[in-house]
């Protein structure tokens, strides 16, 4: 009986050196899942890196600039020519923050912009978190008819029923009802900022850009930033919530070619600054820097819990009020405190409690496009 050599005995027991590869073995080697996944990930990274080369999107960028130069893509104009001049034509797609004291007329300013835009055919999504539908319809009706909205809202006066019946039948109100103006109000448990993307996707589906990117901008107004809610289950403090809501607005502005206007209140500690006053440490009020003069950029960061967000916005607009007089209303300045394509400056305005108008004083600050 033949005996195995030592190597064969060891191999039979699972020991010893392995047999050399069979040169005639044509069996396919087993695939390595980890190696395949790594190779796929590498290929995806390479493709993603190629897409970041400036040449990959240069043509599309110049197409957009040519579209603007040719007038096919235009900003959303506001009702005031001087404000449009200060903003480089109006509200271009991007994130805008409007800051002002309580009672300064922020909501009315935003509503006037929204109504004027919708009247010219721009789709508008107005998210009113502080006011209800009745309040907002009264304000809108007041804007398009020139009536005092608070009188309509409260039904004041013995002739209120007759006045309301008359206003309801006015052509301006019927035109308002037919405008591409969409209104959302906050539910009892609050309006969560994570719903903005879904709302915007529906708006863009309803109002497509038939003539290419930027040919049909959408205006979104969120009124106001400090009372947005977090998604269900999320634990966020006020600053985190405001920050994420603002960046959600910036994301939809870029994705859907929208101008997103976020209305923001300011802290009481900044009230004096926005009224042209200062307060000493002992609480004594003193005269501060004159409104309408100096660098308007000094007003960036005054939004309540939104200061950091303002630095990331495309433009920051601030309503600053000098004084109130029964005959002239509030003499105000709209400060373009920051703008990516414009130089900060001051635009004089007037607010009578229901409507914003321009003042005769020329705007200050150089527009730099």
Helix axes 171-178, 133-145, angle to 10 degrees: 130
Specify if 51 maps to a domain. Answer: no
At 369 the pLDDT is 26
Specify if 22 maps to a domain. Answer: no
Q: Which of 127, 134, 245, 256 is nearest to 182 (CA)?
A: 127
At 158 the pLDDT is 84
Please indicate, yes or no, whether the overall pTM of this predicted structure exceeds 0.75.
yes
Task: Quote the mean pLDDT of the chain.
Answer: 88
CATH of the domain at 306: 3.40.50.300
* Mean pLDDT value of segment 2-15: 54
Number of domains in the chain: 1
**Confidence category of residue 13, pLDDT binned at 50, 70, 90:** low
Specify if 174 maps to a domain. Answer: yes
- Please say if the pLDDT value at position 286 is more than 90: no
- Please say if the pLDDT value at position 223 is more than 90: yes
Give me the sign of the Cα torsion angle 113, 117, 122, 127: positive
pLDDT in tens, 307-352: 888 988 999 999 999 866 676 667 899 999 999 888 899 999 999 8
Specify if 220 maps to a domain. Answer: yes
Specify if 119 maps to a domain. Answer: yes
Specify if 339 maps to a domain. Answer: yes
Beta strands of 51-123 (E only): which ranges? 94-100
- Please say if the pLDDT value at position 213 is more than 60: yes
Q: Which of 218, 220, 237, 217 is nearest to 228 (CA)?
A: 237
Specify if 168 maps to a domain. Answer: yes
* Mean pLDDT value of segment 220-241: 92
CB 235 within 8 A of CB 93: no
At 368 the pLDDT is 31
pLDDT in tens, 75-96: 999 999 999 999 999 999 999 9
- Please say if the pLDDT value at position 4 is more than 80: no
Residue 133 has which token pair? 């539908």
Structural domain including 335 reads: 94-358
**Confidence category of residue 26, pLDDT binned at 50, 70, 90:** low
**Confidence category of residue 190, pLDDT binned at 50, 70, 90:** confident
Proportion of the chain above pLDDT 90, given as a percent: 64
* Mean pLDDT value of segment 65-76: 94
């Amino acid at each position: 009986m033949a005996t195995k050599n030592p190597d064969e005995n060891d191999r039979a027991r699972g020991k010893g050196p392995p047999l050399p590869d069979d040169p005639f073995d044509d069996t396919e080697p087993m695939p390595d899942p980890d190696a395949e996944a790594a190779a796929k990930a590498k290929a995806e990274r390479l493709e993603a890196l190629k897409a970041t080369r400036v040449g990959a999107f240069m043509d599309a960028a110049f197409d957009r600039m040519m579209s603007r130069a040719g007038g096919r893509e235009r900003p959303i104009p506001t009702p005031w020519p001087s404000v449009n001049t200060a903003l480089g034509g109006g509200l271009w797609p991007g994130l805008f923050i409007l800051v002002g004291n309580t009672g300064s007329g922020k909501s009315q300013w935003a509503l006037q912009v929204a109504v004027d835009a919708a009247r010219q055919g721009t789709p508008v999504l107005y998210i009113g978190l502080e006011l209800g539908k009745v309040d907002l319809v009264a304000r809108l009706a007041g804007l398009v008819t020139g009536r005092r909205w608070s009188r309509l809202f409260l039904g004041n006066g013995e002739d209120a029923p007759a006045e309301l019946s008359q206003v309801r039948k006015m052509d301006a109100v019927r035109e308002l009802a037919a405008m591409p103006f969409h209104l959302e109000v906050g539910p009892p448990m609050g309006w969560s900022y994570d719903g903005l993307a879904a709302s915007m996707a529906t708006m863009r589906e309803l109002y497509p850009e038939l003539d290419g990117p930027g040919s049909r901008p959408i205006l979104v107004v969120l009124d106001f930033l400090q009372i947005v809610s977090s998604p269900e289950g999320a634990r966020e403090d006020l600053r985190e919530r405001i920050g994420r809501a603002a960046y959600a607005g910036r994301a939809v502005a870029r994705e859907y070619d929208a101008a997103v206007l976020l209305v923001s209140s300011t802290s009481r500690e900044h009230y004096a600054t926005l009224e042209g006053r200062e307060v000493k440490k002992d609480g004594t009020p003193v005269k501060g820097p004159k409104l309408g003069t100096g660098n308007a950029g000094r007003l960036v960061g005054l939004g309540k819990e939104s200061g950091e967000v303002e630095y990331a916005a495309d433009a920051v607009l601030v309503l600053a009020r000098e004084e109130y007089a029964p005959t002239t209303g509030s003499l105000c300045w709209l400060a373009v405190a920051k703008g990516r394509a414009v130089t900060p400056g001051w635009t004089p305005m007037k607010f009578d409690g229901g409507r914003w108008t321009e003042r005769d004083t020329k705007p200050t600050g150089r527009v730099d496009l």
